[in-house]
Amino acid sequence: MTFDPSDLPIDSDVEVADDVTSERASGSRGHAPRKAHFRPVNLGLVAVGGAIGTGVRFSLVESVPSVDSLPLTVFAINLVGAFALGFLLDTLARRGPDDGTRQRLRLLLGTGVLGGFTTYSTLSVDTVTLVHSGQSLTAVVYALATLIFGALATFLGILLGQLLHRRRTDRGDRGDRADRSDRGGRGDRTNGSVSES
C-alpha cells in the first residue's frame, strides 16, 4: 500500500467551478455561484455539527480529569478527531465529487462535528498554562506530541479509508469472478452470442 498525495481530498470550498472560470475567460457576465461556505443551509450544517462536537468535547473534558496537570483528555480528543477526519475525508473523496450529500456530510461531520470536537485553541492554552506552572519541557513535549501524533492519526485514518475501499472493491471483484465460475466460464449466452463478463 503506497501513499500518493494526489489521493488526498481537496478543499472544494475554495475551488471555483469550471463553468465560472470559462465564463470569466470568455468575458461573459454570468454570476459566480455562491461558494459552499456562503450558503445558509451549509452554514446551518456547520453550526449544528459544531454544537454537537463542542458539546461532546466539553462533556469529556469535564468528566475525565487531567492526570498530573497533563490535559490528556484534550490530547486524546485531538488524536481521535484527526484520525476520524482523515478517514471521513478519504471515504467521501473515494465515493465521488464533493457535492450534494457528500458535501453536506463533509460540512456537518468534518467541519462541524470534528471541527468542534477537536480543539487546538485549548492545546495552545494548555501549553501556555504548563509553561507558566514551571513545566516548560512538558509543555513543549505535549504540544509537539499533539501535532506529530495528530498528523500520524490523520494519515492512519486515510490509510484505513483506503484499506476499506480496497476490501470493498476486492469483494466486488471476487463476486464477479464467482458469478462467471457459476456459469462455468461459458459467458453469457443471450441473443445467440457469447460474451465474457
Please report whether residue 188 resides in a domain.
Answer: no
pLDDT of residue 100: 87
pLDDT of residue 50: 96
Sign of CA dihedral 103, 105, 106, 112: positive
pLDDT of residue 24: 45
Residue at grid coordinates 512538558? 138
Distance in angstroms (rounded) separating the CA atoms of residues 144 and 152: 12
CA atoms in the 13 A half-sphere facing the CB of 49:
19
pLDDT of residue 19: 46
Please report whether residue 19 resides in a domain.
Answer: no
Of the chain, the end-to-end C-alpha distance in Å amounts to: 28
pLDDT of residue 93: 92
Please report whether residue 18 resides in a domain.
Answer: no
Please indicate if the annotation marks 187 as binding a ligand: no
Contact (Cβ atoms closer than 8 angstroms) between residue 161 and residue 87: yes
pLDDT of residue 29: 54
Number of domain units in the chain? 1
Please indicate if the annotation marks 118 as binding a ligand: yes
CA atoms in the 13 A half-sphere facing the CB of 110:
23
pLDDT of residue 90: 95
pLDDT of residue 54: 97
Please report whether residue 61 resides in a domain.
Answer: yes
Please report whether residue 15 resides in a domain.
Answer: no
pLDDT of residue 196: 43
pLDDT of residue 98: 85
Contact (Cβ atoms closer than 8 angstroms) between residue 45 and residue 107: yes
Contact (Cβ atoms closer than 8 angstroms) between residue 149 and residue 79: yes
Does this model's pTM top 0.85?
A: no
Distance in angstroms (rounded) separating the CA atoms of residues 98 and 17: 12
Please report whether residue 9 resides in a domain.
Answer: no
Q: Phi and psi at residue 194, in whole multiples of 5°? A: -115, 130
Residue at grid coordinates 461556505? 37
Determine the structural domain holding residue 177 and report its residue range: 36-181
Q: Where are the beta strands (DSSP E) in the chain?
A: 188-190, 193-195
Show pLDDT as tens, one digit a residue, over the chain (197 residues). Answer: 565 666 555 555 544 444 444 444 445 555 566 676 678 899 999 999 999 999 999 999 999 988 888 899 999 999 999 999 999 999 999 998 888 899 999 999 999 999 999 998 999 999 999 999 999 999 999 999 999 999 999 999 999 999 999 998 888 777 666 666 665 555 444 444 444 43
Please report whether residue 102 resides in a domain.
Answer: yes
Please report whether residue 13 resides in a domain.
Answer: no
